[in-house]
Amino acid sequence: MSRNQIQTQIQIRPAAATDSEAMWTIFDAVIGAGESYPFAPGTSRAACADYWFNPRSTSFVAVAGDERVLGMYKLVPNQMDLGAHVANASYMVSPAEQGAGVGTLLGRHSLEEARRQGYLAMQFNYVISSNLAAVALWKKLGFAIIGTLPKSFRHARLGYVDAYVMYQLLSDPAGWPAPLLR
């Protein structure tokens, strides 16, 4: 199947408790590699559940036609109170599905969802510089690198590597109403 055919069969929907096992499997595989998230390999299921299902976040899953979870993202305020108008998001795609466009679909969906929820901007606080696919995707979707955190991530294979702060305005702030505190 072509990449476009695969993408048209993928649906993105809110994550449910019934997705927990599949989300855990993806989480465990991604963090086990030690290449893109600061979680230590062996992080518990409870920590995974708290990360994806907490009161501040809205989580979504990308599912194939058979409801198999291919990846997920969560959307949260980047800061509390006076910084809550800026979103933050985290994404994970099953290693078996990487390169099929799932991350692109999740990224686009998250930007639409952030706008729908009334966020003014989105900021990624910790994009690992050696995760070239992620950096390229976020640039393609309109993010700019606004800062570099030198040697701030201890990569499992490469040792200490930089992380980027990436940012995108989602709406023109001129005349933007004061956001509701979240």
Residues whose CB falls within 8 Å of the CB of residue 44, separated by 6 or more in sequence, listed in order: none
> From CA 126, how far away is CA 95, in angstroms rounded?
20
> From CA 122, how far away is CA 97, in angstroms rounded?
25
- pLDDT per residue as tens digits for the range 122-138: 999 999 999 999 999 99
| pLDDT reading at 157 higher than 90 | yes
Q: How many residues does the chain have?
A: 182
pLDDT at 2: 47
Claim: this prediction has a pTM higher than 0.85: yes
Q: Confidence class of residue 6 from pLDDT cuts 50, 70 and 90? A: low
Name the residue among 181, 68, 50, 67 with its Cα closest to residue 59: 50
pLDDT at 180: 46
Residue 35 · residue 130 · CB < 8 Å: yes
| pLDDT reading at 1 higher than 70 | no
Residues whose CB falls within 8 Å of the CB of residue 6, separated by 6 or more in sequence, listed in order: 100, 101
